[in-house]
Copies of this chain bind each other. A is one copy, B any other.
Amino acid sequence: MSLDTVSTNRSHGGTQGVYRHASSATGTEMTFAVFVPDHAPGAKLPVLWYLSGLTCTHANVMEKGEYRSACAEHGIILIAPDTSPRGETVPDDAEGAWDFGLGAGFYVDATEAPFSTHYRMRSYIELELPALIAAHFPVDMARQGITGHSMGGHGALTIALRNPERFRSVSAFAPIVSPFNCPWGEKALTGYLGADRTAWASYDACALIANGARLPDLLVDQGEADSFLEAQLKTHLLRDACTVANQPATIRLQPGYDHSYYFISTFMAEHVRWHAERL
């Protein structure tokens, strides 16, 4: 499991790096970003995963997320993977839409041709990348948290709900809470997994909670002025699912905030602190 360093920049008392490797999960090269705060020699730091939303690469949150100050303060390593396999061999949406295919892997292992060859983001994030991170960075993998934005909030919630033993802390910014119940999710899961919805249940945070998955607690921030709230994000479905299932959850609606990194960056420091308290 070798790793190429694309770039490193000193920032906020740490090192912001970008790395590339040949992924066996996706059969492509994959790029990801890691911020490592300065630390004592030999120290192992807790890890916070940040999964990005539709159209994003590793770079969006790295440039606009404003996480480094808080991560340096709390001594947390932040990892930002890409959102899909990429490359000339990787099939995209038939019409080039931005909500499926490249930049829109939805953190699933696709079973439908032609996507099943490369679109294996679940295996990549759950299995391959953690092993690579553990081998190359000063991480304490017994202390992991996960967060994400929009499609990446869906990724964070579903990956944590399927692997509660791995994550001590879970949060999300404006997550897609139920792919079963929104156009983005229906399109993506139909395309990657087929029309039979029984295969979708492990990729829907509300369904996972309804089916018994549990986390110690979770934090969600959602902008009330988010133009995707009503049709796609439907935060109330998560609130209802948590209430019915007695899943502890702090779900906050933030007046005036939209879906952009202007929103994410505003609440990033609070989320990092929330994870730090649990890591």
Contact = CB atoms under 8 A, between A and B. Distances in A.
B265 A11 contact: yes
Interface in A253-279: 256-258, 260-263, 265-266, 269
A62 to B, nearest CB: 9
A66 B67 CA distance: 10
A153 B13 CA distance: 23
Secondary structure type dominating chain A contacts: mixed
B10 A262 contact: yes
A261 to B, nearest CB: 8
A63 interface: yes
A265 B9 contact: no
A260 to B, nearest CB: 6
B11 A266 contact: yes
B10 A225 contact: yes
Interface residues of A, number: 23
Contact of A12 (B12, B258, B260, B265): B265
A225 B9 CA distance: 10
Contacts of A116: none
Nearest to A12: B266
B66 A262 contact: no
Interface centre among A16, A69, A262, A263 (most CB of B within 10 A): A262
Given A64-B63, A269-B69, A262 B225 contact: no
A68 interface: yes
B63 A66 contact: no
B262 A16 contact: yes
B265 A68 contact: yes
Contacts of A269: 69
27 contacts: A9-B258, A9-B260, A9-B263, A10-B225, A10-B256, A10-B257, A10-B258, A10-B263, A10-B266, A11-B262, A11-B265, A11-B266, A12-B262, A12-B265, A12-B266, A13-B266, A16-B262, A63-B63, A63-B64, A63-B261, A64-B64, A66-B66, A66-B69, A66-B265, A68-B265, A68-B266, A69-B266
